[in-house]
Amino acid sequence: MIDLDVPKKFRPLVAQARGMAEEVFWPISRKYDRAEHEYPAELDLVSAVIDGMSDSGAGQGAGASSSTRASDDGAQEGDVAAVGSGRKAKGERANRNGSNLSSVLSILETCRGDVGLTLSIPRQGLGNAAIAAVATEEQKARYAGKWAAMAITEPETGSDSGAIRTTAVRDGDEYVLNGEKIYVTAGERAELVVVWATLDRSLGKQAIKSFIVRRDNPGMKLVRLEHKLGIRASDTAAFSLQDCRVPAEDLLGDPEIKIEGGFGGAMQTFDNTRPLVAAMALGLTRACLDKTGELLAQAGVVADPDRPANVQPAAAARLLQMEADYQAAYLLALRAAWMADNGKPNSMEASMAKAKAGRTCVDVALACVELAGATGYAETELLEKWARDSKILDIFEGTQQIQLLVVARRILGYSSKELK
């Protein structure tokens, strides 16, 4: 059974991530919000610290690159047993708190500092999580230490990953990729891009595979960098792939097209990364609640969880309601990550976590701007920036509507063809 306390071995990691948010990210957050597309040089030191923690084993999964899935035979090496007596009945598998849970906990803390800066930490991109989720051991070793972005979205396909038009045609020992990709987070800065493409358009989503493409590949051209509402510290790129040749060994997962369940390998990426996006939303939500509580306290309004909401000031009652939404989203994210650590199918739970956390983040951020009044709207505090940053967390890695659709299909037992 899942244990809801932060495992003892993860507490130093959580404390370090919290310190990073407050001491490194908050002081430079406004600077890089204004200096869009300028690389935050301060992140080189942050990345070195994370790499050092991971190499020493102290990090226990300090970022997206560590999120992977336990095998059916047990958790991955380096996982730790859940807190408690450690005893289990004969034949019962021990609980595992592994790299997915630790990644969720650490990313929550860094995004309490700044989501855009977290997305810009070298070698901790969503493409790294994709490689960790589905790559072979040989591929993981070959691309260890590389920064990977992830390219899924295309013009006119929106959230329907199964409608991808970028093609991959086998030519000897290579695949030739052609198509367009937009909204690629960290696309300009990353060394690798995990590109989703189809081996056969007529077969739909079953023929979709993901490929590791080197950023300096002459067949992949940077078209533009987007100007955005929020997460402006993070670069967001658009690419054109024109006869882009990729070694066959850089196809992630099984190269065979499987009519039944063939999309599952590619979609397993989302089962690992959606809890991470939920954690990003939770971090930003936590920042908004903490800052708003602080500002209200300065005005003499203090929320008391031990008293009925109807006998407290309206602002205090609203803060308590938002805190309850935060806690619900937090528990959903922990469950989805814990299931991945324990080798349990978590597609529905990952979508639940992402949907709840994304919606809660937007609602809380906007409400906190409102509760803080003129201070919330001004640049004297980060609340207005957090409100702008929040919207993307309800969109990327699958929109709110897509998450609810995934959940509905799982609950009702419908396929994607039966419920659209």
> Residue 187 corresponds to which amino acid?
G
Catalytic residues: 397
The answer to whether the predicted template modeling score (pTM) of the entire model surpasses 0.85 is yes
Per-residue pLDDT at 73 exceeds 50 = no
Per-residue pLDDT at 291 exceeds 90 = yes
When the pLDDT of each residue in the chain is averaged and rounded to a whole number, the result is 88
Per-residue pLDDT at 299 exceeds 70 = yes
* pLDDT in the model for residue 89: 44
* pLDDT in the model for residue 56: 54
374-388 mean pLDDT:
97
Per-residue pLDDT at 75 exceeds 50 = no
> Residue 92 corresponds to which amino acid?
E
More confident residue, 122 or 73: 122
* pLDDT in the model for residue 79: 37
Helix (H, G, I), strand (E, B) or coil at 373: coil
Q: Residue 411 and residue 174: Cα distance in Å, rounded?
A: 41
Residue 16, sorted as left (phi over 0), alpha (psi -120 to 50) or beta, turns out to be: alpha
Q: Could you tell me if 218 and 149 are in contact, meaning their C-beta atoms sit under 8 angstroms apart?
A: no
Q: How many residues appear in the chain?
A: 420
320-334 mean pLDDT:
97
Per-residue pLDDT at 255 exceeds 70 = yes
- Architecture per CATH, domain 8-142, reads as Orthogonal Bundle (1.10)
pLDDT band of 162, cuts 50, 70, 90:
confident
More confident residue, 271 or 74: 271
Q: Residue 107 and residue 86: Cα distance in Å, rounded?
A: 27
Q: For the chain, give every residue range classified as CATH 1.10.540.
A: 8-142
Angle ∠(345,347,349) on CA atoms, nearest 5? 95
Closest to 163 measured CA to CA, from 202, 134, 112, 137: 202
* pLDDT in the model for residue 163: 85
The pairing of strands 236-247 and 174-185 is antiparallel
Q: For the chain, give every residue range classified as CATH 2.40.110.10.
A: 148-252
* pLDDT in the model for residue 186: 95
Helix (H, G, I), strand (E, B) or coil at 74: strand
Q: Could you tell me if 97 and 80 are in contact, meaning their C-beta atoms sit under 8 angstroms apart?
A: yes
Closest to 283 measured CA to CA, from 136, 109, 35: 109
User: Class for domain 264-412, per CATH?
Assistant: mainly alpha
* Share above pLDDT 90 across residues of the chain, in percent, rounded to a whole number: 71
Burial code (b: 16+ CB inside 10 Å, e: under 16) for 357-373 equals: bbbbbbbbbbbbbebbe
pLDDT band of 397, cuts 50, 70, 90:
confident
Per-residue pLDDT at 32 exceeds 70 = yes
User: Class for domain 148-252, per CATH?
Assistant: mainly beta
For 198-254, how does the pLDDT look when each residue is reduced to its tens digit (9 = 90+)? 999 888 888 999 999 999 999 999 999 999 999 999 999 999 999 999 999 999 987
